[in-house]
Amino acid sequence: MKGWSFNQALECWCIEDVVYTEKADVPQAQRLSVFVPKAYLSETGEIAKSGACGIYTAQNAPVIFENNAAGYMEMTNTHPGEERFFGAPYLAQGMVYVTCGCRGRSSKNAQGEYVGKAPMTLVDFKTAIRFLRHNRATLPGDWSKLVSVGFSAGGAMSALLAVTGDHPDYDPYLRANGAYMEESDAVYAAQIYCPIIDLEHADMAYEWQFGADPENETSYAGPAETMTPFKKTVSQRLRRMYVEYVNRLGLIHPQTGEKLELGEDGRSGAFYEMTMRRLGDAARLCGELPPTNLDDDVLHRRRRMKACTAFDRLDEQSGENELFGNSVQNTAHFSLSVAKAVQSVAEEFPEEAAALADGWAHCGDEAFQKRLRLLNPLAYIRDARGKKAAHYRIRVGADDADTAFSVSMTLAVMLQNANLGTVDDALVWRQPHCEADVPGQIQDWIHHIFEGQGA
Ligand code: DHB
């Protein structure tokens, strides 16, 4: 970590495009950059111990670790001036900012093998954090307390970093990736924007929320289409299965202590009411009328974006299908719930079901289930091993239809039920799929959780 340069516009020192592992398969993506407020380094690149910026010093400044994961794709770290560079407001308030790239679902090594399938994106970020900590003597900021930030697939990564810190499940992957095994990859806090998580159950959630809408937009994974009778039936099965899934989770209302369940119709019960309250709270905060009914909301305000099935697509054409391929096979089915829904309509739609019959055979394998788990933060919340973050902040746009609202709500409730720390969860009215937030609020939250350590 040598060779600081100065960025005039941001008034910060930067060290850019550093490859974070000697075993990089894709060195153009496995890179990171660090940006440091001007006051924290001397002209010669030494840490200016008494340097202060905002309410922080070179020794106690929060370090923001922003992962640039998107779409579970291979991504580079970002650069000042680029659309996805979010460093400026953090730096202005005295925080150190890191942007980190990763391998993704279509990454290939020099031999042409896929090397970025699940869970490699997460393994890369853990490797990067360990690399930075290994170099902490040369870096200003409090490296014992990282704040992870990311959105969408990056929000999933941020949630995962928060609940899987130093978990032994990742050790073999980290070792193979050239990570410093004696360093920690645990984070202190996580900002989680519109996380695309719980992928193996997300299709049920999606049809539960959007099932009333037979048409999707041209989406991330495919063209606009109208549901065929077969897909409509599959959608209804998934919706019904979601009720069972939610009721099996054992969620408890964090305030009232009542069981958070869904009624058989999927449109009653405390879980449904909480979904509507969360949506209504976002509307009310902007002086608007709260939606009163989820199906109305879907048909008249925020319609279905993705076709049925949204994540584990029947044609294996989603990004997630590509994520769960392997070194030689680009795509794969991954959701036993989708398999079950398809199978359950076989009598009514024998041809369609028969054509899909063998697609999910590998999903029951122990090794495959293990891989799914490695990328599902919900699976680690109740796991006592590893280090958990102490603070979680979840924000999702109320105009976001990339996944069901209940997916992030379930994450928030599970975190609260597990008593891991503070959880600040909200939908943000009129915000799409993005870093949905009110400007300045994330920095205020960080000040708050670092309270008492500022100057
Ligand atoms: C992202 C968006 C999606 O709709 C999805 O399924 C996965 C990832 C993203 O923006 O990162």
For residues 65 and 146, is the Cβ–Cβ distance under 8 A? yes
69 CA → ligand 1 middle, Å:
10
Pick from 106, 149, 152, 311 the residue to mutate for probing ligand 1's pocket: most ligand atoms within 8 Å of its CB: 152
Characterize 140-171 residue by residue with b for buried, 16 or more Cβ atoms within 10 angstroms of its Cβ, and e for exposed: bbbbebbbbbbbbbbbbbbbbbbbbbbbebbe
Identify the pLDDT of residue 2. Answer: 67
Spatial distance between the Cα atoms of 37 and 27, rounded to a whole number of angstroms: 27
Residue in the block written with tokens 């989603």: 318
Identify the pLDDT of residue 454. Answer: 43
Q: Which CA distances in Å does 362 have to 167, 255, 324, 351?
A: 26, 41, 11, 22
**Which residue is closest in CA terms to ligand 1's atom 1?**
71
Identify the pLDDT of residue 1. Answer: 54
CA 153 to ligand 1: nearest atom: 11
Identify the pLDDT of residue 317. Answer: 95
70 CA → ligand 1 middle, Å:
6
Pick from 105, 196, 431 the residue to mutate for probing ligand 1's pocket: most ligand atoms within 8 Å of its CB: 196
Characterize 200-220 residue by residue with b for buried, 16 or more Cβ atoms within 10 angstroms of its Cβ, and e for exposed: bbbbbbbbbbbbbbbebeebe
Identify the pLDDT of residue 219. Answer: 79
For residues 288 and 282, is the Cβ–Cβ distance under 8 A? no
Spatial distance between the Cα atoms of 169 and 173, rounded to a whole number of angstroms: 8
Identify the pLDDT of residue 455. Answer: 38
Pairing, β 52-53 against β 189-193 = unpaired
Secondary structure (3-state) at 131: helix
Q: State the DSSP H helix or E strand holding residue 100, giving kind and residue range, or none if neither.
A: strand 96-100
Angle at 223 between CA 222 and CA 228, to 5 degrees: 100
CB atoms within 10 A of CB 417: 18
Identify the pLDDT of residue 357. Answer: 87
Pairing, β 391-397 against β 189-193 = parallel
CA 219 to ligand 1: nearest atom: 4
Identify the pLDDT of residue 3. Answer: 84
**Which residue is closest in CA terms to ligand 1's atom 5?**
71
Pairing, β 96-100 against β 189-193 = unpaired
Pairing, β 5-7 against β 12-19 = antiparallel
214 CA → ligand 1 middle, Å:
21
Q: Which CA distances in Å does 10 have to 6, 35, 42, 97?
A: 9, 9, 16, 11
Secondary structure (3-state) at 37: strand
Residue 227: φ, ψ to 5°: -60, 130
Characterize 25-35 residue by residue with b for buried, 16 or more Cβ atoms within 10 angstroms of its Cβ, and e for exposed: bbeebbbbbbb
54 CA → ligand 1 middle, Å:
35
153 CA → ligand 1 middle, Å:
6
57: which residues sit within 8 A by CB, 6+ positions away?
40, 49, 50, 51, 455
Kindly list the strands in the beta sheet with 96-100, ordered across the sheet, starting from the edge strand earlier in the chain.
5-7, 12-19, 31-37, 96-100, 63-67, 146-151, 189-193, 391-397, 422-428
**Which residue is closest in CA terms to ligand 1's atom 2?**
71
247 CA → ligand 1 middle, Å:
26
pLDDT tens digits for the chain (455 residues)? 568 999 999 999 999 999 999 999 999 999 999 999 999 999 889 999 899 999 999 999 999 999 999 999 999 999 999 999 999 999 999 999 999 999 999 999 999 999 999 999 999 999 999 999 999 999 999 999 999 999 999 999 999 999 999 999 999 999 999 999 999 999 999 999 999 999 999 999 999 999 999 999 887 788 888 999 999 999 999 999 999 999 999 999 999 999 999 999 999 999 999 999 999 999 999 999 999 999 999 999 999 999 999 999 999 999 999 999 999 999 999 999 999 999 999 999 999 999 998 999 999 999 999 999 999 999 999 999 999 999 999 999 999 999 999 999 999 999 999 999 999 999 999 999 999 999 999 999 999 999 855 43
* Ligand 1 interacting residues, C-beta cut-off 6 A: 70-72, 152-153, 196, 220, 319, 402
403 CA → ligand 1 middle, Å:
8
95 CA → ligand 1 middle, Å:
28
pTM of the model: 0.98
Spatial distance between the Cα atoms of 347 and 349, rounded to a whole number of angstroms: 6
